[in-house]
Amino acid sequence: MFFPTIFLSKTKEERRMNEQGRGFFSAIKEALIGSSSCNAAALSDVGCVRDNNEDNFLLHGSINDSSSSHAHANADLSPDEWHCLGLFDGMGGIAGGEIASKETAQVFRASADQFPGKSPSEIQELTRQAFSKANEQINAARSANKVGGTTATIALLRDKTLKLFHVGDSRAYLITRHSIQQLSEDQTLAQMEAQMNVKNIPEEDKHKLTCFVGMDSRYKMTIFETDLLQVKSGNYLLLCSDGLSDLCTNKEIFKIVHAAATPAAGAQALVKQAKQNGGYDNVTVVLHQFH
C-alpha cells in the first residue's frame, strides 16, 4: 500500500495538500479501526432530498450531537454488560425534529450511564422513566422553541438477551440465518385501522403517528414492550428509521446484512441501498451482530 509523504508546509497550497493527506490517513484509520473487531455500528444520513437530518441514534454513548447530515459510530459491545441502543426519527420540520431527536437521544444516553450495578428490572424501569422524562422535556421545549416530536426505538441487550421498548414507527428487526422478523409495532393510523377495524381513514393520513415522544400531556404515551427475548449467535438486531424501511424491502435488507463482512459494512450498504432507491427521507440504521 502506498502512503503519501506529508511535509510541514508554509504556503496556502501546501497547507491544503497537508490537510488532504491527514484526511487520507483519517479515512484509512477509520476503515481499519473497529471494522472487523466491532460488533455494532450506527450510521445516519440526510438522504438525497432533505436539507437537514432529523434522525439520531444511540450506540455505546455515541449520538449525532451536532445534528450533522452524515454521522456514524462503531462499538464493540461487551457480552458482560447491559447496553442501550436507540433510534430516533424527529418530526416537526427544519430544526424542530432534529432538536427533538437529539434531546431524546441525550436523555437515553444519560439513562444508560446509570446501568452499571443495576439489576435487569431496575434497568428496565430506568428506560421507562427515560421515555417519560424525554416526553416532558420535548413538551416543555415545544412551547419555547417550536420543537416537534420524535419516534424512539430502544433495545436493551446483554450477551444474547434482548428487550425492546418503542414508540412511533421506527422499526426493530431480528435477522436470523433464514428470516427477518419485525419486532416493533408501527404506531400509526394505518396500523390502528388494521388492528381495530377502523374505517374511512384518508389514505394521506395513514402514515400519521398515534404515539411519539413529545405528545401533549393530555394524551397517554403508550410504550410498546417485548418480553425478554433470547437470540442465537450470528443473529442481527437492526434498528432503522422509515427512511430505510419505506425504501428497502425486507428481502433487500436481509440480503444486504448477510452479505456484509461487518456490521459497519452492513450499515453502509443499507444506507447506500436506501439512497439508490430514492433516498427521499433521512435514513438511519443501528446494526448489531450477536456473538
Question: Is 2 part of any domain?
Answer: no
Helix (DSSP H) and strand (DSSP E) numbers for the chain: 7, 13
DSSP 61: T
C-alpha angle with apex 100: 95 to 101, nearest 5 degrees? 105
Distance CA 231, CA 247 (A): 27
Which amino acid belongs to residue 230?
Answer: Q
Question: Is 158 part of any domain?
Answer: yes
| Radius of gyration of the chain, Cα coordinates, nearest whole angstrom | 20
Question: Is 59 part of any domain?
Answer: yes
Question: Is 9 part of any domain?
Answer: no
**Is 182 within 8 Å of 237 (Cβ atoms)?**
no
Distance CA 257, CA 98 (A): 27
pLDDT by residue for the chain (291 residues), tens digit each? 333 322 233 344 444 444 344 444 444 344 433 445 799 999 999 999 999 999 999 999 999 999 899 999 999 999 999 999 999 999 976 568 999 999 999 999 999 999 999 999 999 999 999 999 999 999 888 777 767 899 999 999 999 999 999 999 999 999 999 999 999 999 887 666 566 666 666 766 667 888 999 988 788 899 999 999 999 999 999 999 999 999 999 999 999 999 999 999 999 999 999 999 999 999 999 999 999
- Here the CATH number for the domain that contains residue 51 is 3.60.40.10
**Is 75 within 8 Å of 60 (Cβ atoms)?**
yes
Q: How many CA atoms lie within 13 A of 4 on its CB side?
A: 13
> DSSP strand E in 184-262: where?
224-225, 229-230, 236-240
pLDDT of residue 193: 59
Residue 144 grid coordinates: 419555547
Which amino acid belongs to residue 70?
Answer: H
pLDDT of residue 202: 74
pLDDT of residue 191: 65
pLDDT of residue 36: 57
pLDDT of residue 93: 62
pLDDT of residue 241: 98
pLDDT of residue 206: 67
Question: Is 98 part of any domain?
Answer: yes
**69 Cβ partners below 8 Å, 6+ apart?**
45, 46, 52, 53
Q: How many domains does the chain have?
A: 1
Question: Is 20 part of any domain?
Answer: no
Which own/partner contact pairs does 267-275 have at CB distance under 8 Å and 24+ positions apart?
A: 267/41, 267/42, 267/43, 267/72, 268/43, 270/43, 270/238, 270/240, 270/244, 271/43, 271/45, 271/244, 273/247, 273/248, 274/47, 274/243, 274/244, 274/247, 274/248, 275/45, 275/47, 275/48
Question: Is 125 part of any domain?
Answer: yes
pLDDT of residue 92: 75
Question: Is 154 part of any domain?
Answer: yes
Residue 164 structural domain: 41-70+81-290
